């Protein structure tokens, strides 16, 4: 019997083994992609066709339905990436480090989208695609941290050493996340303050609904991508193990 087969009973701890997590990730990823596609279609329809035109910015504000979710996810994914990297560093768990590595590319894409959509929004709002605003600059640093994490792992041949070195970088870089979030409060910046706050929102209900739906769409997509990438990383790291040989042999039949 293949070692990939799941044992009877349910325990979250057994999925900490790459051999057990691999098939679970393969089953979950398509569901998250489907949820992401459905929510994105609903969110974009509401945002572009049902939400009213803003009385100050006109239709240019509609880019928030891409910009805000990508910006939130860029920060959130970095914290999650640093968390898994830290767990792998402290407890020397293989899957934790692999999860951090799987999250990094999606986080970098989210930061990139956030910067570009922010630039497209900034042109009609501020009159410039880019200014050295505190939030823009700290978000650019976030993108560099993601790229540095990815580059550091690629530069070190020994996977375990690469995991440890990149984990240190990820943990140090976490300090940039609160700087991004609070930058509009700490410094005099062009970037507008938060429209969504714990006590309520200054946005119209239909705008807020569309944006939150898009946030969940981006979230589902990020989870699906992380699960897909971690499966590829597991096969790469475990390529000499018996269960991978059995899996590849079964696929070849």
Beta carbons of 122 and 128 less than 8 angstroms apart? yes
Is 90 exceeded by the pLDDT of residue 169? yes
Least confidently predicted of 7-16, 97-106, 119-128: 7-16
Where does the pLDDT of residue 75 fall: very low under 50, low under 70, confident under 90, or very high at 90 and above?
very high
Number of domains present in the structure of the chain: 1
* Mean pLDDT value of segment 203-208: 88
Mean pLDDT for all residues in the chain:
87
Report pLDDT for 204: 83
Q: Is residue 184 part of a domain?
A: yes
Is 60 exceeded by the pLDDT of residue 98? yes
Where does the pLDDT of residue 241 fall: very low under 50, low under 70, confident under 90, or very high at 90 and above?
confident
Q: Is residue 70 part of a domain?
A: yes
**Dist CA 248 CA 179 (whole Å):** 46
Where does the pLDDT of residue 142 fall: very low under 50, low under 70, confident under 90, or very high at 90 and above?
very high
Is 70 exceeded by the pLDDT of residue 253? no
Q: Is residue 11 part of a domain?
A: no
Is 60 exceeded by the pLDDT of residue 47? yes
Q: Is residue 125 part of a domain?
A: yes
Report pLDDT for 3: 43
Coil, strand or helix at 11: coil
Q: Is residue 20 part of a domain?
A: no
Q: Residue 106: which domain range?
A: 26-193+204-252
Q: Is residue 12 part of a domain?
A: no
Question: Which of 229, 189, 202, 207 lies closest to 81, judged by CA?
Answer: 229
Report pLDDT for 187: 59
Tens-digit pLDDT profile for residues 7-24: 444 455 677 888 899 999
Q: Is residue 2 part of a domain?
A: no
Report pLDDT for 194: 57
Report the first-to-last Cα separation within the chain, whole angstroms.
16
Q: Please list the residues that pair with 197 across neighbouring strands.
A: 200
Where does the pLDDT of residue 155 fall: very low under 50, low under 70, confident under 90, or very high at 90 and above?
very high
**Dist CA 35 CA 29 (whole Å):** 10
Report pLDDT for 4: 47
Is 70 exceeded by the pLDDT of residue 198? no
**Dist CA 213 CA 46 (whole Å):** 9
Q: Is residue 199 part of a domain?
A: no
**Dist CA 84 CA 97 (whole Å):** 6
Is 80 exceeded by the pLDDT of residue 191? no
* Mean pLDDT value of segment 196-202: 56
């Amino acid at each position: 019997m293949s070692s990939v087969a799941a044992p009877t009973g349910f325990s979250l701890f057994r999925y900490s083994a790459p051999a057990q997590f691999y098939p679970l990730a393969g089953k979950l990823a398509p569901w998250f992609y489907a949820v992401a596609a459905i929510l994105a279609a609903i969110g974009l329809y509401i945002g572009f066709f049902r939400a009213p035109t803003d009385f100050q910015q006109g239709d240019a504000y509609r880019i928030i339905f891409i910009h805000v979710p990508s910006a939130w996810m860029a920060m959130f994914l970095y914290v999650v990436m640093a968390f898994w990297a830290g767990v792998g560093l402290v407890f020397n768990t293989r899957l934790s480090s692999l999860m951090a590595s799987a999250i990094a590319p999606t986080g970098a894409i989210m930061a990139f989208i956030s910067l570009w959509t922010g630039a497209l929004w900034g042109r009609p709002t501020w009159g410039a695609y880019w200014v050295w605003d505190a939030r823009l600059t700290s978000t650019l640093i976030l993108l560099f941290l993601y790229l540095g994490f990815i580059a550091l792992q690629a530069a070190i041949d020994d996977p375990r050493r690469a995991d440890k070195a990149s984990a240190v970088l990820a943990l140090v870089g976490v300090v940039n996340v609160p700087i991004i979030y609070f930058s509009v409060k700490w410094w005099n910046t062009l970037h507008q303050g938060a429209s969504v706050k714990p006590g309520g929102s200054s946005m119209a209900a239909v705008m807020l609904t569309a944006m939150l739906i898009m946030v969940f769409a981006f979230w589902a997509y990020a989870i699906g991508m992380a699960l897909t990438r971690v499966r590829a990383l597991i096969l790469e790291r475990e390529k000499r193990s018996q269960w991978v040989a059995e899996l590849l042999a079964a696929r070849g039949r």
